[in-house]
Amino acid sequence: MTAAARAGLILAFPALSVIALFFFVPVIIALALSLTDFDIYALADIHNLRFTGLRNYVELLKTPLFWSALGNTLYFTSVGVPLSIGASLGTALLLHSRLARFRGFFRTALFAPVVTTLVAVAVIWRYLLHTRYGLINYGLAHLGIAPIDWLGNPHFAMPSIIMFTVWKNFGYNMVIFLAALQSIPEELYEASGLDGAGWWLQFRHITLPMLGPTLLLVSILTIAGFFQLFAEPYVMTQGGPAQSTVSVLYFMYEQGFKWWNLGTASAVAFVLFLMMFTVTALQMGVARRLAIP
Amino acid sequence: MKTHLAAFSVNGALALIAALTLFPLFWMFSASLMPAGTSSVYPPPLWPTHPTLENYHELFSHAGMGRRFLNSLGIASAATLLSLLFNVSAGYAFAKLKFAGSQSIQKILVGALVIPAQVAMLPLFLILKTIGLVNTLPGVLVPWLAGVFSIFLVRQHVATVPDELLEAARLEGAGEAAIYLRVVLPMLRPILVTLAVFTFLGAWNDFLWPLIVLNEGKLYTLPVALASLSREHVQDSELMMAGAVLTVLPVLLLFLLLQRYYLRGMMTGAVKG
């Protein structure tokens, strides 16, 4: 072995062993756990553990709350992701406009919520959404809209969380879109003969196709992120009202660390993984069909 | 005339969106300075008529948030240092020091990126329970020690260091340790800052893992403490806003200072994909 190869092994070893020990081993244990009835009794004495095969998965499919958690998470993702990406793209286009001034300031201002602490800003929003004293209802009152019980009404709780999440996250993809917009060569607009063609035609035939790969990447990462909804309902609604904001991860947390059903919770974790994997694979498939590199 | 109108609408829209985006943060600062009970009235006040620091005083004297602030600071700093130590050397090794199996290990690591961290959390809790790290601050650090994403971020940047430079150093008789410490590391300074900012913000803002691993109030990090405080003190909006300021202000300032490095990390991570 050369000196360089030996050095490489020595330098990579600490990180690799940490990842193996604290990530790969747990993932394998999780798969095993999901096939057992690991609960509070097994936690006290491991001899109480029994292998149960796929029973946790079968039981999950018969649990109504799991199905609502799944439905709530899909609702959150399918409404939240398009809104979030739309807001990111819209603000990126505004910032990219030749007419925009103070770009640096606006970019920083719109990005600021991304770096804030999720729990802390969720607490702020809980007060802003307050039915009687919240500034959001106060603002709506000026438009003649009667007070809305944002977090107390099962029809409005999830939309409130979506609104909050879009506010918190749109800056991230905005910055990525902005970089992609800046990398589109100016000549493309001139050479295409579309430079006098009006904004929409240019956007439709040059900007959007050129953003294709970025859009694909952004949507894959954003959907994966939205599937992991947890802290928002934990802080803002505690899963309520009427369990309308229980997400898959919230359900897993309660199963695992409130009721200590670690077997069931591991099965939930794998279902979540499978969901994310399937959706990503589908998106890649669609992208290949559309010939996006 | 037409461009004037267009410029007015573009900048007007930006100003309006920026105002709406910053408003919750503005209100957080403003309400944190209001005397207890004065923010929950109708119509809701936008700023305090009699600004006071009593909420901050209450936060440190009775709510024990000073201790939690130090917990968060300690964890985020330690996570930053340790992750630099582990990830930078691994990233360099994968980029420049080919050893047997390094290619296939990298493929496995990339594959692991599709597995969400939450899958590992339940068994990780059991492992840490066995070795006595549950309900300790080092237990909170464990997931931050090494990360696939960080390793590849470093690897990507080390790849831009020319091989000839390393070969020249070797021909001059420099050992591998000296090359790493004296030639490579100084060239990586910008990406080290990027990685440090990312890790610090990530560890400071993290919620689910510290919530799982800590069950004793005095060990809580700020987000966990704030979440539990907000369940007990729903009515004390001014106190909660002071707590939110204490939690958000450090990371917001850090971001404003090192914005360039943070955004650069996002770009290399995302656009090159």
In this prediction, residue B264 carries a pLDDT of 81
Q: What is the pLDDT of residue A191?
A: 76
Are A118 and B207 within 8 A, CB to CB? yes
pLDDT in tens, chain A (293 residues): 788 899 999 999 999 999 999 999 999 999 999 999 999 999 888 888 999 999 999 999 999 999 999 999 999 999 999 999 999 999 999 999 989 999 999 999 999 999 999 999 999 999 999 999 999 999 999 999 999 999 999 999 999 999 999 999 999 999 999 999 999 998 888 777 666 677 888 888 889 999 999 999 999 999 999 999 999 999 999 998 999 999 999 999 999 999 999 999 999 999 999 999 999 999 999 888 887 65
* pLDDT on residue B218: 93
Element (H, E) at B33: none
3-state secondary structure of B88: helix
Q: Which residue of A has its CA nearest to B223?
A: A119
Confidence of residue B273 (pLDDT cuts 50, 70, 90): very low
Cα(A107)–Cα(A92) distance, integer angstroms: 9
CB–CB of A120 and B244 under 8 A? yes
Q: How far apart are the first and last CA of chain A?
A: 39
Cβ–Cβ gap B122/A97 under 8 Å: no
Q: How far apart are CA A177 and CA A172, in angstroms?
A: 9
Domain ranges of chain B: 61-270
Chain A's closest residue to B148, CA to CA, is A19
Domain boundaries, chain A: 63-289
Asked if B122 and A6 come within 8 Å (Cβ–Cβ), the reply is no
List chain A residues with CB under 8 Å of B226. Answer: 117, 119-120, 123
Is A120 close to B89, i.e. CB distance below 8 A? no
Task: Using an 8 Å CB-CB cutoff, list chain B residues near A278.
Answer: none
Q: pLDDT (tens digit, 9 = 90+) per residue, A98-152?
A: 899 999 999 999 999 999 999 999 999 999 999 999 999 999 999 999 999 999 9
Which residues in B lie closer than 8 A to residue A252 (C-beta atoms)? 118
Cβ contact, residue pair A115, B112, below 8 Å: no
Residue of A33, A39, A97, A119 to mutate for B, most B C-beta atoms under 10 A: A119
Q: Do A252 and B118 touch (CB under 8 A)?
A: yes
Q: Hey, what are B34's tokens?
A: 């209001």
Yes or no, beta carbons of B118 and A3 under 8 Å apart: no
* Fold (CATH) for B61-270: MetI-like fold (1.10.3720)
Degrees to nearest 5, angle at CA B123 with B119 and B128: 130
Which of B41, B90, B241 minimises the CB distance to A12?
B90
Distance of alpha carbon A267 from alpha carbon B242, whole angstroms? 40
Cis-peptide, bond into residue A241, ω within 30° of zero: yes
The CATH fold of domain A63-289: MetI-like fold (1.10.3720)
Instruction: Kindly give, in sequence order, each residue whose CB lies less than 8 Å from that of residue B237, ignoring residues fewer than 6 positions away.
Output: A127, B31, B39, B40
Which pLDDT tens digit goes with each residue over B127-158? Answer: 999 999 999 999 999 999 999 999 999 999 99
Cβ-based contacts of B151 with chain A (< 8 Å): 15
